[in-house]
């Protein structure tokens, strides 16, 4: 991400395959599903949910406030072999749209953010 400052957005990327049969002809499609979780001042791409649970518990104990997490997701379909190009287009869309709706961690927290693919 470039806005409001440079940081890595942690995401989980899943790839799915759909094969259909119509009139004896098989057609295959690929789907890319990218998602992450965001809360006030926190981001998570932990598929198990343990990181979010830990952060929620820690904040509840320290501040008495239960963090509210949002689930952000993007999906795109493509032909087999076009997954990398499709993911690059998705990254462009994510980079342009996320600063419009997502609050980010404070600049001092940038070093804590890592990308998980």
The domain limits of the chain are 12-106
pLDDT of residue 106: 59
pLDDT digit string, tens, across residues 5-26: 788 899 999 999 999 888 889 9
Please list, residue by residue across 24-62, b when 16 or more beta carbons sit within 10 angstroms of its beta carbon and e when fewer do: eeeeeebebebebbbbeebbbbbeeeebbeebbeebeee
pLDDT digit string, tens, across residues 23-32: 889 999 999 9
User: Out of 3-7, 52-56, 62-66, 75-79, which region has the weakest mean confidence (pLDDT)?
Assistant: 3-7
pLDDT band at 1 (very low <50, low <70, confident <90, very high): confident
When pLDDT is averaged across residues 81-101 and rounded to a whole number, the result is: 95
Q: For residues 4 and 98, what is the distance between their CA atoms, to the nearest angstrom?
A: 10
């Amino acid at each position: 991400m470039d806005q409001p400052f440079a940081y890595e957005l942690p995401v989980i990327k899943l790839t799915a395959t759909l094969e259909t049969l119509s009139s004896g002809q098989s057609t295959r499609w690929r789907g890319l599903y990218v998602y992450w979780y965001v809360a006030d001042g926190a981001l998570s791409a932990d598929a198990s949910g343990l990181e979010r649970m830990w952060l929620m518990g820690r904040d509840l104990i320290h501040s008495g406030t239960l963090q509210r997490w949002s689930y952000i997701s993007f999906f795109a379909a493509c032909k087999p072999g076009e997954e990398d190009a499709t993911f690059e287009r998705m990254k462009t869309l994510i980079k342009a749209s996320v600063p419009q709706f997502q609050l980010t961690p404070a600049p001092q927290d940038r070093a804590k953010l890592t990308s998980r693919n």
